[in-house]
Amino acid sequence: MVALVVTIHAWCGQAWAGDEVSTAGSTVEGEASDLVASPDSHISREDWKRRIGEARSRAEQARREWKLNAPLRTFVPDPPEKIATERVLSDDTLKPGDIVSTDKGFFVFRGRSGSDGQAADFAPIAPR
């Protein structure tokens, strides 16, 4: 009979003082009271519906703007000619007298100039 009473008390969540179950239960109750104290939990149904409607309107506006700006978001890679020109003009292995072909025509490399020796000097070659 005593075992049946102890089982019923334990199953119903009632425990004696000092049991681990009773301290764990008070922690869960404390966390639940923190959740209930949220200011958003005390809004009226109309306010809640109004907030949902405003959020939907903002989302719809963002979708429309995203669609309108789609052409601006497209990535247009540089043409291969431009990439090749940039590569050849910044080539560190060029020696004075080397001729390079770019998207603007042929150029002769004169050498490095400037105080740092990093600025490349090119002269255009006139077509015949």
| Distances in whole angstroms, Cα of residue 94 to Cα of each of 11, 82, 91, 110, 122 | 86, 19, 6, 9, 11
pTM over 0.75: no
Mean pLDDT of the 101-119 span: 79
Considering only 17-21, 91-95, 117-121, which range has the smallest mean pLDDT?
17-21
Residue 106 has pLDDT above 70, yes or no: yes
Tens digit of each residue's pLDDT (9 = 90 or more) over 55-88? 999 999 999 988 888 777 677 888 999 999 889 8
Tens digit of each residue's pLDDT (9 = 90 or more) over 8-29? 656 555 445 444 444 444 555 5
Q: For the chain, what is the mean pLDDT?
A: 76
User: Which class for 16: exposed (0-12), middle (13-18), buried (19 or more C-beta within 10 A)?
Assistant: exposed
